[in-house]
A and B are shown apart, each in its own frame.
Chain A
Amino acid sequence: MISLEKFSLKIKDRQIFREIDFAIGKGEALGISGSMGSGKTSLLYCMKGIIPHLKRGKTSGKLQINGTEKNKLRKEVGIVFQDPNDQIFSKTVYDEVRFGLKNHGFSGGVLEEKVENALNQVGLWNRKDDDPFELSHGQRQKLAIASVLAMEPEIILLDEPTASLDHRTTLEVYKTLGELRESGKTIVIVEHDTDSLVSFADKFLILDHGLQKAFGDEDVFSLSEVKEAGVKIPWGLKAKQG
């Protein structure tokens, strides 16, 4: 479903990442981890089409989603940004989720049903009339997820969705993502918390200073290149390795 071949990105003569190569199928979950500034967020932006459509950047190589290369924003891909405050602007929780659906042409009973389903999935239906800025950070993150879920994208990209969340809310977010994966959605998640990531994702991509250090299943965490990239070895795997 998502396939990259020697995919590189340059912004203003600065190489952000170089020759990224991987492929994942429908319904799989990819976890991306790596050092700070290694191009993880930029990679998500390229998958959505934000780069080069909304932000400047020169790409080379191939990036195919559903077998097609498109140089515009992809409607079948939804993205949840790192800071939920960057995407919330409506007066109520309900309006925030409704916004994307209205832009996609939904209205009436169908729209209301989709909003209700999305808010119920993240447990915010009882807060639908509240001001989003009165929600806690974790609840705002859930609202940001709901506003993307409502549009029912095939692929969901998440940029550090559990940063600054407590353990319980992190588990709730991953529970929601697990249900989405079971329903057939493809999920790509950038995450530093490898403990949570390893129990959720099927494949892992490790980046360091713009270079791909490893791609594969959880065995990648035992590679020396991954350790040198500064990626935390998940506790469960550490115990196995002895």
Chain B
Amino acid sequence: MGLKGKAGLAAAFILLLAAILTPLEYAPVVFIIFLIWGAYHRVSILTALVATVFFSITLGISALILGFGIEHSILTSLRAITILLPVYVYFSYSSMQDVMETLESVGVPKDFSFMFSITIPYAHVLGRKVQFVNIAQQCRGSRSPWAVIMPLLNFVFERARMLAISIECRGWSAEEKS
């Protein structure tokens, strides 16, 4: 499924560039093309949209607040999704090992390639945590976004800390060269 290695990375990069450079009024067309491309690679479209919607809605709202109008804001949100989708689809059909080896082969330092390879898949873990925290806080009668954000930040930092310790305990070293 999908192009592996450097070819896959190159394809994702080209599609990313295409999404950035396409005029805003064509964003819906590009969005539909990318949805079809993602479906062809059997990537769950719903998961992809959930992973990208937070960022895209934030951009859209920002555009609205800055006075760009509703149509422009919606197109901005769609463009954000089309920019993120190639990255998401690439990481979805590539294993962590493939991603790391590909990035290292094009000169990305080992630490950064490892960081990318584990951070992107963690997006869906974070999405699930947001759900749980939201439900827990609503059960206590709270609808404040801070009641979700603060436990989430705590979770993110604590999980990152423990994950780093666990990874080092399994022999990972930033100083070793492959």
Q: Which residues of A contact B (CB under 8 A)?
A: 48, 50, 54-55, 73, 75, 78-79, 81, 83, 85-87, 89-92, 95, 98-100, 102-104, 133, 147-148, 151
Contacts and interface: CB of A to CB of B under 8 A. Distances in A.
A55 B96 contact: no
Contacts of A100: 170-171
| B97, B165, B167 interface centre (most CB from chain A within 10 Å) | B165
Contacts, number: 59
B121 A83 contact: no
Contacts of B153: none
A89 B170 contact: no
A86 B166 contact: yes
Given A85-B159, A92-B95, A95-B96, 11 more contacts: A54-B164, A73-B168, A73-B169, A79-B169, A81-B162, A90-B96, A91-B121, A99-B172, A133-B125, A147-B170, A151-B170
B122 interface: yes
Interface in B71-91: none
Contacts of B95: 91-92, 95
A90 B95 CA distance: 8
B118 interface: yes
B171 A89 contact: no
A91 B95 CA distance: 7
A104 B173 CA distance: 10
Given A89-B121, A91-B96, A99 B170 contact: yes
B163 interface: yes
A73 B125 CA distance: 29
B162 A86 contact: yes
A103 B95 CA distance: 17
A48 B57 CA distance: 45
A87 B162 contact: yes
A194 to B, nearest CB: 26
B170 A55 contact: no
Interface string B145-178: 0000000000000010011111111111100100
Contact of A89 (B97, B118, B169): B118
Nearest to A75: B171
A225 to B, nearest CB: 33
Given A95-B95, A95-B97, A54 B171 contact: no
A79, A91, A103, A133, most chain B CB atoms within 10 A:
A91
Nearest to B162: A86
B100 to A, nearest CB: 10
B171 to A, nearest CB: 3
Interface string B99-132: 0000000000000000000100110110010000
Contacts of A55: 165
